[in-house]
Amino acid sequence: MRAFQQVDVFTQEAGLGNPVAVVLDGEGLSDAQMAGFARWTNLSETTFVLPAVAPEADYRVRIFTPSQELPFAGHPTLGTCHALLEAGRVSRSEGLVQECEAGLIPIRVETDGALVFAAPPAKTSACSRTAEELAALLGGGSVANPLLIDVGPRWLTLRLTEPGDMDRIQPDYPAIAEATRSSGWDGITAYAISSEGGVEVRSFAPADGIDEDPVCGSGNAAVGHHLRATGAESLTGESYVARQGRFLQRDGRIRVRIADRVEVGGHCISVIVGSVAI
C-alpha cells in the first residue's frame, strides 16, 4: 500500500478548483504502472513523489495525464507540495525546491497558507495559425496576439478582446485536438481582461484527453508571459488574481505575479487521504 492524497488546488473549498491525485510513495513503480494508475484516476494529472536526484531539491515528482507524461504542470506542483507538507514529509520553515523533468521549481508558503511556484523560464515563438483560424477552433470570439508559449507544456496562448467573448465561445474539441497534434502544441489557453483589470482564463487540451482543464497553473503562467510579451501587462499590473473553472463548476482563483519567472500560486485543500494498492 502506498500513501495517497487527492487535493483540490486553487481553492479553499472542497469540490472546486482543480483536483490532482498524489502518490506520496512512488519509488519502485515502473513507467507502465504510473501511466496505468494515471489512466485509472482519470484526472487531468496524477503525480508520483520520488527521492530527489539534484542536491538542491527537497523531492522529485513525475507528472502524468491519462495519456502522457508531462515535464511540468502547475496545479500538480502545488497539490503535491501541499500533500507533502500536510503529511509532514517536508518542512515549511523555508522555501522548498521541487525537481521535475523541466528542472528545479522553487516553491514558497505565503503567510496565509497559499503556495506559490516560480514557473520554468518560458520560450515564446510566433504562431503559424491566423487569428481567424484560431477563432474558428474556439467557435467564435475576437482573437488577438496568438503566441506559442512553452513553460514545460506548450500552450498556444491568445487574448479574447471583446466583452462577452469568454461566455460566447464554443470550442470545437476534435478540431483543437487535431490542430494541437499537427502543430506540436499541448493545448490552447485563452484569456480575457475585464474593464476593471480582472483576468479570466480557459485552457483546452483535448489531445491529452482533457477537453477543458478546470484550473491550469501552467496555462496561467503562459498568460503571465503573454501579457508581458504583448504589452497588455499595463492592463492588469504586475500582480493580479485570475479566475478559471467557472464553466465547469470548479471555480478557482489563481495568484499571478509577472516576473522573469512568472509566479503562480493559490490555496489547496485535501479531499481524500489514505492509501492505494499499486
Measure Cα distances from 223 to 14, 122, 226 in Å: 26, 11, 5
d(CA 175, CA 180): 9
Annotated catalytic residue within 45, 99, 200, 263: 45
45 is annotated as an active-site residue = yes
109/81 Cα distance (integer angstroms): 10
Long-range contacts: 172-175, Cβ < 8 Å, 24+?
172/136, 172/137, 172/138, 172/139, 173/204, 173/206, 173/211, 174/206, 175/136, 175/137
Tell me how crowded residue 275 is: count the other CB atoms within 10 A of its CB. 13
Q: What is the DSSP track for 18-82?
A: EEEEEES--TT--HHHHHHHHHHH-SS-EEEEE--SSTT-SEEEEEE-SS-EES--HHHHHHHHH
CB 2 within 8 A of CB 275: yes
Inter-residue contact 152 to 70 (CB < 8 Å): yes
User: In the structure grid, which three cell numbers stand for residue 252, read together?
Assistant: 478557482
Active site residues: 45
